[in-house]
Amino acid sequence: MCGIAGRILRAPGPVGRDLVELMDAQVHRGADSTGFALYGPPREQGFIVRAVGMDRAALGRDLDDFLGILRDHGSDFLEDPTFDSADTPHVSVRMVVGEFRDLARWSRDADGISERLEVQSVGRSLEVVKDVGTSSEVADKHGVRDFVGTHGLGHARLATESSVSPTASHPFWARPFPDVAIVHNGQITNYYLWRNRLERRGYRFMTENDSELIAVWISDRMRHGMAKSAALGQSVREIDGVFTYLIADERSIGFAKDRWAIKPLVAMGEAPEIAVATEEQAVRRIYREEGAVTNYDGPAETRTWLASRAEAAPAVEAAA
Amino acid sequence: MSRPAAANRIEVVAADRPVREVNEELRAAVADGREVVVRDTRSRHNLGVGLPAAARVRFEGSVGYYCGGLNDGARIEIERNAGWGVGEAMAEGEIVVGGYAGMAAGASMRGGVLHIRGDAGPRCGVAMKGGDIIVEGRIGYLSGFMAHAGRLIALGGAGEACADSLWGGEVWLAGPAESLGVDARIEEPEAEEVAAVEALLAGRGLGDSTRDWRKVVSEQRLWHFESRDAKAWLMI
């Protein structure tokens, strides 16, 4: 059991605060780790890189090596990296870097030192913040409530099938596609079948967490030129298990759920402003008064909501 | 947090208080012979679980999961929507949901009446073993799944895989089913059976003698499952 949430604001605002509330209301669904995919004002040049260093004492050396790989690919730090000052062995790092000659190639090389410093997101807008602990613990440690942006995702994890660690937490970045992240509630039962297939195609998995498969699977579909809304529909047919997952990019949040209609998703609000979550009581933290609630309870449902930064268009219904 | 309302009525506020505290207050009021109105419910879970026969409780607004679960004879009214498992394992009594009931409404119930004025989500009446579920709207995917006894009555029809793996009991449809599940078949109801269902509905202000009923029952092939027949059940 896990809890997921998504939030879209009408204009840039306290999306971090809202997502922390949405996850705090679902803390009983999982307190092993909590994570957020936060979409801030997009950069015109360069990317924000979020990463976790495994050994705080060796962070200087690891960042030097990381910088070397950046420079090999035509990029560089545009600002000094910042990091949390907790007393845990692991350390979260935020970097702002320049353009890459080829982001996918850089990403593959950067993953070469992932056992020391693992990239957790790359985006013009996206920042993935994830760590062990509850929503409020992770929010306090990383200042999530102060994050200003347009939209984002949240995840509370009850670890069932793989280890608890900052890197095995959600959201997962759909490497190497900037600004694409997923959160998932459920179990993927054909995980090894797809993992083996995708590894043969050259994809690398960073964790043993079945939810990571969704991110890699989506990457593979995107690499083949498939639109995300179409990938949502295909995932329902090809990924087996019980699941509801949310996928976000710089312009939208979408969801897909399994054919058995096991995992819930509830929405309140009026497009473009909307809150979605596993449980109704979570969206009621945002919309306290009684109001219209949509339960996405049916089998194999998918849908995409546009974030407000995109043109004010009505929500797009994806083909199931 | 509670204050007297009408002569014999007391109001309890749920808001963000611990649900255990709210339920204890609710039970104390019931033991005192009071009718209870629960306000500011905020879709919270486990409200009014395990209420005794004498209880009369109204929830204003929407409730979360398992409201009225293990009901032992109470009369419970939910003004708006209910989350998962409303009335789960109810032994007797009555629960009325004013709006939509989420997944697995009336799961494993053994007796009493669960009346849903709106639609019901997937697996309504899953594994029910007695009692009646009345849904004025439509019942969702896999409703009646593995039910053993009782009646699941849907005036607005059913979603896919209606009555899948039905063991016993009956699913009554006054509207179309998107599809029937495995081991379910439609049977022509007897006149007295229709009269009994209509009498139950009339008692709740839903009488209508013009309905075209379909009664879904078990084909009973799964009663004697043999692994060599497994292919017959692989519908996916």
Averaged over A247-275, what is the pLDDT? Answer: 95
Averaged over A71-87, what is the pLDDT? Answer: 97
The continuous run of DSSP H or E covering B191 comes out as: helix B191-202
pLDDT digits (tens, 9 = 90+) for B36-76: 999 999 999 999 999 999 899 999 999 999 999 999 999 99
Which residue, among A73, A81, A245, has the nearest Cα to A170 in the 3D structure? A245
Among A123, A147, A162, the domain boundary falls at A123
CA A39/CA A54 separation, integer angstroms: 25
Q: Give the pLDDT confidence score for residue B4 in this predicted structure.
A: 58
* Whether pLDDT at A287 is above 90: yes
Residue A133 sits in the same domain as residue A118? no
Catalytic residue among A2, A63, A117, A232: A2
Residue of B nearest to A284 (CA): B42
Cβ separation B140–A298 shorter than 8 A: yes
Residue A187 sits in the same domain as residue A239? yes
CATH number at residue A110: 3.30.70.260
Averaged over A47-54, what is the pLDDT? Answer: 98
Cβ separation B102–A297 shorter than 8 A: yes
- Cα distances from B8 to residues A246, A302, B3, B60, B73, in angstroms, run 48, 49, 11, 18, 20
Q: Is A292 on the interface with B (CB under 8 A)?
A: no
Q: Give the pLDDT confidence score for residue A247 in this predicted structure.
A: 97
A44 is catalytic: no
Give the gap in angstroms from C-alpha A51 to the nearest C-alpha of chain B.
Answer: 36
Output the furthest CA–CA distance in chain A (Å, rounded).
55
Phi and psi (nearest 5°) for B26? -60, -45
Which residue, among B9, B51, B12, has the nearest Cα to B33 in the 3D structure? B9
Amino acid identity, position B143: S
CATH number at residue A261: 3.60.20.10
Among A101, A123, A145, the domain boundary falls at A123
Residue A247 lies in a domain: yes
Residues B97 and B82: beta-carbon distance below 8 Å: yes
DSSP codes of every residue in B53-122:
TT-EEEE-S---TTTTTT-EEEEEEESS-B-TTTTTT--EEEEEESS-B-TTTTTT--SSEEEESS-B-T
Domains annotated for chain B, with CATH where assigned, are 48-233 (2.160.20.60)
Averaged over A4-8, what is the pLDDT? Answer: 98
Among A123, A143, A158, the domain boundary falls at A123
Residue A131 lies in a domain: yes
Q: Which residue bears the tokens 């896919």? A: B160
Of the two residues A1 and A301, the one the predictor is more confident about is A301
Interface residue of B22, B43, B124 to substitute, partner A, most A CBs within 10 Å: B43
Residue A165 lies in a domain: yes
pLDDT digits (tens, 9 = 90+) for A173-213: 999 999 999 999 999 999 999 999 999 999 999 999 999 99
Give the gap in angstroms from C-alpha B154 to the nearest C-alpha of chain A.
Answer: 17
Q: Which residue bears the tokens 């009931």? A: B101
Tell me, what DSSP letter sits at residue A125? Answer: S
Nearest residue, CB atoms, A297 vs list B42, B140, B236: B140
Nearest residue, CB atoms, A299 vs list B62, B80, B141: B141
Cβ separation A293–B61 shorter than 8 A: no
Residue of A nearest to B159 (CA): A298
The domain containing residue A98 runs over which residues?
Answer: 43-123
Q: How many domains does chain A have?
A: 2
Sheet holding A126-132, edge to edge: A126-132, A33-39, A149-157, A2-13, A274-277, A266-268, A293-295
Residue A77 sits in the same domain as residue A214? no
pLDDT category of residue A280 using cuts at 50, 70 and 90: very high
Averaged over B190-205, what is the pLDDT? Answer: 97
Q: Give the pLDDT confidence score for residue B228 in this predicted structure.
A: 76
Nearest residue, CB atoms, B42 vs list A260, A284, A299: A284
* Whether pLDDT at A75 is above 60: yes
Q: Is A314 exposed, middle or buried (0-12, 13-18, 19+ CB in 10 A)?
A: exposed
Q: Which residue bears the tokens 């995932």? A: A235
Residue A108 sits in the same domain as residue A85? yes
* Whether pLDDT at B224 is above 80: yes
Q: Is A111 on the interface with B (CB under 8 A)?
A: no
Q: Give the pLDDT confidence score for residue B235 in this predicted structure.
A: 57
Q: Report chain B's mean pLDDT, rounded to a whole number.
A: 94
pLDDT category of residue A319 using cuts at 50, 70 and 90: very low
pLDDT digits (tens, 9 = 90+) for A12-42: 999 999 999 999 999 999 999 999 999 999 9
